[in-house]
């Protein structure tokens, strides 16, 4: 999908429809995951899942482009972690209980 979106652009309508449908499904899945995390109290009550999904979709697609361009995996991993932290405006209760360091966003495994 990444190659199709980048290489063809909006010139050819058939691939554009396929890519757009893919992005809509991915956005819906990201928004659903953020809504669920928010419902569980893992994210700030002020987080807008749709906006967070917009941002994460952009970060994810950018990461795909970087990988295809030969960027070092550690660099791409760092970018993805930063993107999750940016969206992961965690609820203060979680940070205060030591589960997430204050201001550090979502916990990430290496």
pLDDT tens per residue, range 26-69:
999 999 999 998 898 888 888 889 999 999 999 999 998 999 89
Residue numbers of the domain that contains 70: 2-96
Is 109 contained in some domain? Answer: no
Is 103 contained in some domain? Answer: no
Q: Which residue has the tokens 């050819």?
A: 12
Q: Quick one: how many helices (H) and strands (E) in the chain?
A: 5, 0
Tell me what percent of the chain is helix, strand and coil, each rounded to the nearest 5. Answer: 70, 0, 30
pLDDT at 100: 46
Is 88 contained in some domain? Answer: yes
pTM of model > 0.75 = no
Query: Shortest CA distance to 85 belongs to which of 69, 110, 53, 108?
Result: 108
As for how many domains the chain has, the answer is 1
Residue 30: C-alpha distances to residues 11, 44, 48, 73, 88 (Å): 28, 16, 12, 22, 13
Is 102 contained in some domain? Answer: no
Compute the mean pLDDT over every residue in the chain, rounded to the nearest whole number: 77
Report the residue count for the chain. 110
């Amino acid at each position: 999908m990444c190659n199709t979106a980048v290489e063809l652009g909006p010139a050819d309508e058939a691939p554009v429809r396929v890519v757009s449908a893919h992005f809509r499904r991915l956005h819906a899945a990201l928004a659903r995951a953020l809504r669920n995390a928010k419902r569980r109290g893992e994210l700030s009550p002020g987080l807008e899942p749709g906006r967070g999904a917009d941002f994460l979709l952009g970060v994810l697609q950018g990461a795909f482009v970087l990988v295809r361009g030969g960027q070092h995996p550690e660099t791409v991993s760092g970018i993805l972690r930063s993107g999750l932290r940016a969206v992961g405006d965690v609820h203060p209760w979680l940070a205060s209980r030591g589960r997430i360091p204050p201001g550090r966003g979502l916990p990430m495994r290496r």
